């Protein structure tokens, strides 16, 4: 679909209520099943899960506003999880790169403390030497 047509359709969709938006979605999915010239791009596991929940809620005749709130919450949760996955991948890549650098004989740079260490904590609780002990400050 060309960009001009896509933008025009989006402008028209923005004027519709959620109820009508779901009717349009049903129609688009019908058209896709009959006339799609290429496959839909693969969605992430989180997106597929959210869409499955959304479809179940719609089948259960839940109001469009309740569905929108639920899906919005799930999308925010998926964004947090995606960020966590991306951070994990970056940390794993850094670890691999550091181990490769260390195994080739060159000196790896000294590691920086993670943000949650006592040196960089934003709370005065980092001054506590014995957490839970008699010297703990509350």
Tens-place pLDDT, residues 21-31: 999 999 999 99
Asked whether the predicted pLDDT for residue 10 surpasses 60, the reply is yes
CA torsion, points 116, 117, 123, 128, in degrees to nearest 10? 140
Specify the pLDDT at position 44.
80
Asked whether the predicted pLDDT for residue 89 surpasses 80, the reply is yes
Asked whether the predicted pLDDT for residue 101 surpasses 90, the reply is no
Q: Is 50 exposed, middle or buried (0-12, 13-18, 19+ CB in 10 A)?
A: buried
Q: What phi and psi, each to the nearest 5 degrees, are found at residue 13?
A: -65, -35
- Choice between 105 and 45, residue whose per-residue pLDDT is larger: 45
Q: Mean pLDDT over residues 94-115, rounded?
A: 67
Whether 46 contacts 85, CB under 8 Å = no
Confidence tier at 16 by pLDDT (50, 70, 90)? very high
């Amino acid at each position: 679909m060309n960009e001009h047509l896509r933008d025009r359709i989006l402008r028209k969709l923005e004027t519709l209520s959620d109820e009508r938006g779901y009717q349009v979605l049903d129609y688009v999915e019908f058209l896709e099943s009959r006339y799609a010239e290429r496959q839909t791009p693969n969605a992430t596991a989180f997106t597929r899960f959210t869409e499955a929940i959304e479809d179940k809620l719609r089948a259960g005749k839940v109001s469009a506003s309740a569905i929108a709130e639920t899906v919005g919450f799930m999308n925010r949760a998926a964004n947090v999880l995606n960020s966590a996955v991306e951070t994990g991948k970056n940390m794993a890549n850094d670890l691999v790169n550091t181990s490769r650098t260390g195994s080739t004989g060159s000196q790896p740079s000294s590691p920086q403390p993670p943000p949650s260490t006592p040196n960089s904590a934003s709370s005065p609780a980092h001054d506590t030497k014995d957490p839970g002990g008699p010297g703990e400050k509350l």
